[in-house]
Amino acid sequence: MSAPGPRIFLSAGEPSGDLHGAAVTRALRARLPRATLEAVGGPRMAAAGAQLLHPMERMAAMGAVEIITKLPAHVRLLRQLRRSFEAQPYDLAILIDYPGFHLRVAEAARAAGIPVLYYIAPQLWAWWPQRAVRFAKAVDRLAVILPFEASFFAKLGLGSEYVGHPLLDRGPMPERRAARASFGIRDGERVLGLFPGSRIGEVRRMWAPFRDAGLRLLDEKACDRVLVAGTAEGEYPDPDGIEVQRDDPLPVFSVADAAIAKSGTTTLEAALADTPMVVAYRAHAFTFWLSQRLLTIPRVSLVNLVAERDVVPELLQDAVTVERLADAVRPLLDPAHPATVAQRAGLREVRSRLGLPGAAGRVVDMAEQLLATR
C-alpha cells in the first residue's frame, strides 16, 4: 500500500490570487498526485483540483477605507484557520498574494510548526520596509515575480527566488492583424485603448476622466476608434462614441496603438503587447493621503519599477485630468513620434527583464524543497 502524499494548505484572497493559485494547484497535482490540497480560494482553484475549505468571496478589498469593511470576515476566518492548524497541522502552507491577511495566516502557520511558502511578495519595498522584518520572520521561502524583489528580501535573510511573472504563462497575445479585423478596424485607423481597471471602486474613479480624454481625442481626430477593456459587472455611463468590450481584454491590447491604463498589472500586460501607454491612478482620498506618507519609492507603475527608470508617464490622483491624460497619450498614437519610439524601446527592456514562462512550476520546485525538509 503506497504512502499518503503530503497535506498542503493553499490560500488566495481575491480573483487574481485564485487565478495564480489555480496554476500552482495544477502544477502540484501533476507533480504530487497523492497530495491532499485544501484551500481558501475561488472557483478556479477548485476546478484545478483543490478542495475548498472556505470560499474567498467577499474577502477582496483594496485601499485603507475599503479594507476596514472586510475586517470582521478576515478575523473570523483567521480564528478558524488557527484552530485548524493546531488540530491537524499541514506539511506545507502556500500563501498567494493578499499580504495584509496572509501575513497573519503565515504567523499562525509558523506557530503551529507548518513551513510557509509565500508566492507573489507584498510590496513592502514600496510601502512599509520596516514591516518586512516581521514578514521575514513568518515566512520560510518567498517566490517573487518581479526581478528586483529577490535582492530586497535577501537582505533581510529571507530565502527568495525570482520565479518569473505569471503573465508570461498566459500564452501569446492575439495576433494584431486578425484582432483588428475582428473589430472591423481598417488599415491606417488609429485606436486608443482604455483600461480603467476591474474592481468596481477603481472603475468608478477612473472612468469619467478616461472616457472624456478618449472623447476629446476622437473629436480632435487624433484617433479613429476608442475601445474600453470592460468587465461584465462594470458600469461605464455615457460612453457616446466609445466602444465598451466586456469580454477578454487581451484583444484590446492587441488592436490598440496606444493606451490609457490604470496602475497595476495592466501596465505589464500592455508592455507584453508592446502597447505604448500613459499610466494613471486615483484612490480614495484618505487612502491616497496615507500612501503619500508611507510610499518610499519614486515610481508607482510596474513598468517603470521593472525598468528602474521612467519608461511610461505616470499621472496620480489630482493629476488625473482630461487635459493631462489627452496631452500625454496624444503623441503615442503616432508610431513615428519620438515619444513612441523611445517608449517602445523601454518596453522591450521590460519584457527582457520579466524572464521566461513557467512560474507555477518553479513555485512547486520550491514547495518540494520545503517538503523534503519535513
Residue 63's alpha-carbon distances to 119, 306, 311, in angstroms, are 21, 23, 26
Residue 68 pLDDT: 47
Residue 286 pLDDT: 54
Residue 148 pLDDT: 85
pLDDT in tens, 96-154: 999 889 999 999 999 999 999 999 987 765 555 566 778 888 999 999 999 888 887 88
What's the grid cell of residue 213?
480624454
In terms of pLDDT, which residue wins out, 201 or 59? 201
* pLDDT tops 70 at residue 172: yes
213 within 8 A of 326, measured Cβ to Cβ: yes
* pLDDT tops 80 at residue 60: no
Measure the CA–CA gap between 137 and 231, rounded to whole angstroms: 39
pLDDT in tens, 189-234: 999 999 999 888 889 899 999 999 999 999 999 999 999 999 888 8
DSSP code of 139? -
CA 92, distance to chain mean position in Å, is 24
* pTM of the full structure: 0.82
Q: Residue 9 belongs to what H/E stretch?
A: strand 7-12
What's the grid cell of residue 175?
495576433
For 222, counting Cβ atoms within 10 Å of its Cβ (0-12 exposed, 13-18 middle, 19+ buried), the class is middle
Residue % of the chain over a pLDDT of 70: 89
Residue 61 pLDDT: 47
In terms of pLDDT, which residue wins out, 243 or 122? 243
Residue 118 pLDDT: 97
Strand partners, 10: 39, 94
Residue 58 pLDDT: 52
70 within 8 A of 41, measured Cβ to Cβ: no
Amino acid at 305: L
What's phi and psi for 241, nearest 5 deg?
-90, 10
Please, which pLDDT band fits residue 330 given cuts at 50, 70 and 90?
Answer: very high
Per-residue pLDDT, averaged over 328-346, amounts to: 98
> Residues with Cβ < 8 Å from 94, sequence gap 6 or more?
8, 9, 10, 11, 24, 117, 118, 119, 363, 367
Residue 198 pLDDT: 83
pLDDT in tens, 270-321: 999 999 999 998 876 655 544 554 455 567 789 999 999 999 999 988 899 9
373 within 8 A of 91, measured Cβ to Cβ: no
Sheet holding 314-316, edge to edge: 243-245, 225-229, 191-195, 258-262, 277-281, 314-316
Per-residue pLDDT, averaged over 29-51, amounts to: 96
Residue 220 pLDDT: 97
Q: Which domains does the chain have, with CATH numbers?
A: 7-169+357-371 (3.40.50.2000), 172-353 (3.40.50.2000)
Query: Among 85, 128, 125, which residue's Cα sits nearest to residue 104?
Result: 85
Q: What angle do CA 128, 134, 135 make, to 5 degrees?
A: 80
Residue 362's alpha-carbon distances to 123, 223, 224, 366, in angstroms, are 21, 43, 44, 6
Residue 1 pLDDT: 47
Q: What is the pairing mode between strands 258-262 and 243-245?
A: unpaired
Measure the CA–CA gap between 197 and 203, rounded to whole angstroms: 6
- Rounded to the nearest integer, the mean pLDDT of the chain is 89
